[in-house]
Amino acid sequence: MKNNYQAVSVNEIMKKSVGIDYSIFENEGIGFDYEAMMNHSGYTIDDITSIQKKAMVGSTPLFELHNLTNYARKFSKKGYGAKILLKDEASNLSGSFKARRAAISIQVAKKLGYKGVVAATSGNYGAAIAALAAREGLKCIIVQECFDSNNVAQPEILEKARACEAYGAEVVQLSVGPELFTTFLSILSKTGYFNASLYSPYGIMGIETLGKEIAEQSMEMYGKFPEVVICTNAGGGNLTGTARGLKKSGATDTKVYGASVNLTGLHMASDNDFNKKSFTTGHTGFGMPFAINPDRSDVPRSAARPLRYMDKYFITNQGSVFFITEALAVLEGMERGPAGNTSLAVAFKIAQTLKEDEIIVVQETEYTGAGKHHQPQLSFAKKNGIELLFGDPNNEIPGKNIIFPKSAKDLVVQEVPLERLQKSYLKKHSGILLSDKDKEFLMKELKINDSDLEVLLNDIR
C-alpha cells in the first residue's frame, strides 16, 4: 500500500477502525446531529463511571488551595478573592485526566473484539491508552510527532514516549509535518486495530464524569455548585466533556472558561518553530484552530466542540505558567505538570475579580517529572536560543523569549473575544446559501441566538 494520503480511503478506514458509521448522523447541508452521535453508544454517564472505576480511574479528590487562595487575596480588593479549588487528576492511573478517555476507548475496543489500539498523540493520552491497553491485554501503538529535521526532540514528548514504552506500547516517532496523519491511517489500515481517537464520542464521554464529580463534590463540600470552572483548552475535548458533565449534574449556571498558553506566531507544523515552544499542549496553536474548525481531527466528525460550551476564553503567557507552577510547589507542596497549571495561572487572576464566597475550580492536574518538569523545559528553551527574563510578561514574544513576572500581581491573563473565534468559524460558510436547518446547527455550534448569528454573518460578508 502506498504511504500517501491519496492512496487511502479515509472514510472507510475510519468507519472500520472506530466502529461508528458517521454518515448516519449527517444532515442535509452543513450540519450533523451531534447529540445523536454522542448517544449512539448507548452508554449512560453511570455506565461510564462504572467502567472507569474498574480501570482505577476517576473519583479523584477536589480540594481548596488555601495558600494560593490567600495569596490571590493579597492582590484583591476587600471582600474579593474567590476560593481556588483544584481537581487532582494526577491521581488517576497514568497520571492525568486522559485516563478517563482511555478507559472508555479501551472498553469499546475490547467489547468490539479488536486485537489492539492505535492513537496519534504526543501527550498524556498516549500513556493513558498504553496503560489501559496493558490492563486489558490489548496491543498498543502510539504515533508521535517527536522531533525536528535535525532529530532534536522535545523533552516532554520524550518523557511521554518513555511512559508509553514502560507500559509495553510500540511508539512510532516521526518528525514534525504532514506525515503524522498519513502514517496513522496507514497503521490503522494495515493492523485493523481500533482508532482510540481523542475526538470520538467515547473520548468525550469519558470526560463527562470529571464535570459530574466536580459538581457533586462542590455541592457536598460547600452546598453549591462552583461559579466558574476553568479548563485548559487544546483540542477542545477537555472543555467539552467537562461542560457536558456539569450540565448533566444540574450545574447549568456554572460558567465554563477555556485557558491556553499564548504561542501566537509559532506554527505547530513548522520544522523551524517546533522546538521553540515550551508547551506541547494547552496552547493557542491547538486551542484556536480546533475551536474554529473542530472537524480537522482524526475522525470525520469531532465530538470535541468547545464553542458549544465555552463562556469565555483566556490566554496567558509562558512565563506566568512557569511562575504559578513553582508557586503551587512552594505554597501547596504540589509538583504538577504544565497543562493544568495553565488553568491555574488564569484562575489565580480571575479569582481576584470574584467575591470571597464564590468558587473557581481548576478542573485538572497532570503528573510531572523527567522531561515534563519545568526545569528541563526551561533548559531546553535556553539551548534553543530562547531568552529567559524577568520583567513585564506582556512583552513576551513566543519563540524569542520567556518572561517571568517579578510578582504574582504581574501575571498576565488576557480575554480572547469569543466573537473573534465565532467569525473565524463562520468564514468557511460565508459563501453559501444557508438553510434554516443550517442556521439552527450554527447557533448550537457557536452558542448564540438567531439575531447574533445574523450580525456575525453580515460582519464577515
Q: What is the pLDDT of residue 441?
A: 98
Same domain, 29 and 80: no
Q: Which of 201, 217, 233 is the last residue of a domain?
A: 201
* Complete DSSP assignment for 167-229: TT-EEEEEESSTHHHHHHHHHHHHH--EE--TTSHHHHHHHHHHHHHHHHHHHHHHSS--SEE
Which cell is 387 given?
531568552
| Residue 222, number of CB atoms within 10 A of its CB | 14
**450 and 331 both lie in a single domain:** no
Query: What CATH number is attached to the domain comprising 178?
Result: 3.40.50.1100
Average pLDDT across the chain, whole number? 94
Last residue of a domain, one of 186, 201, 216: 201
So what's the pLDDT on residue 356? 98
- The arithmetic mean of pLDDT across residues 291-305, rounded, is 94
Distance CA 216, CA 418 (A): 29
CB-CB contact of 330 with 67 (8 Å): no
Full residue range of the structural domain in which residue 448 is found: 425-460
Residues 337, 240 share a domain: yes
pLDDT score of 419 more than 80: yes
How many domains does the chain fold into? 3
For the ranges 192-201, 327-336, 363-372, 438-447, which has the lowest average pLDDT? 363-372
* Under 8 Å between Cβ of 248 and 332: no
* Tens digits of residue pLDDT in 79-103: 999 999 999 999 999 999 999 999 9
Residue keyed to cell 479523584: 60
**Confidence band, pLDDT 50/70/90 cuts, at residue 4:** very low
Same domain? For 27 and 165 the reply is: yes
Predicted local confidence at residue 49, as pLDDT? 97
The 10s digit of each residue's pLDDT in 224-252 is: 999 999 999 999 999 999 999 999 999 99
Higher pLDDT residue, 39 or 271? 39
Q: What's the mean pLDDT in 244-266?
A: 97
Shared domain check, 345 and 219: yes
Verify that 312 and 266 share a domain, yes or no: yes
CA–CA separation, 377 vs 361, rounded Å?
26
Co-location of 383 and 273 in the same domain: yes
User: Which segment of 5-14, 122-131, 237-246 scores lowest on mean pLDDT?
Assistant: 5-14
Alpha helix segments (H runs only) across 41-146? 45-54, 66-73, 98-111, 124-136
Nearest by Cα to 194 from 276, 280, 133, 279: 133
Kindly state whether residues 350 and 444 are assigned to the same domain.
no
Q: Which amino acid is at 30?
A: I
| pLDDT-based confidence at residue 178 (cuts at 50, 70, 90) | confident
Percent of the chain surpassing pLDDT 70: 98
Domain boundary among the residues 185, 201, 217 is at: 201
7: pLDDT strictly greater than 70: no
The arithmetic mean of pLDDT across residues 120-132, rounded, is: 92
Compute the CA torsion angle 370, 376, 380, 383 (nearest 10 deg): -130
Strands (E), 217-358: 228-232, 255-261, 312-316
Contact 372, 156 (CB under 8 A): yes
Cell of 370: 523527567
SS3 content of the chain, % helix, strand, coil (to 5): 50, 15, 35
* Tens digit of each residue's pLDDT (9 = 90 or more) over 360-414: 999 999 999 877 788 889 999 999 999 999 999 999 999 999 999 999 999 999 9
Q: Which helix (H) or strand (E) holds 292?
A: helix 284-292
Examine the domain organization and report whether 433 and 350 are in the same domain: no
Q: Are 190 and 207 contained in the same domain?
A: no
Q: Are residues 376 and 399 in the same domain?
A: yes
Single pTM value for the model: 0.95
Tell me phi and psi for residue 415, to 5 degrees: -85, 135
Say if residue 312's pLDDT is above 60. Answer: yes
Residue of 167, 96, 173, 166 lying closest to 138 (CA atoms): 167
With H, G, I as helix, E, B as strand and everything else as coil, classify residue 139.
Answer: strand
Residue 13 has what pLDDT?
82
Distances (CA, A) of 18 to 50, 136, 185, 295: 22, 18, 12, 15
Per-residue confidence at 9, pLDDT binned at 50, 70, 90? low
Instruction: Examine the domain organization and report whether 120 and 263 are in the same domain.
Output: no
54 burial via Cβ count (<10 Å: 0-12, 13-18, 19+): exposed
- Terminal C-alpha separation, the chain: 44
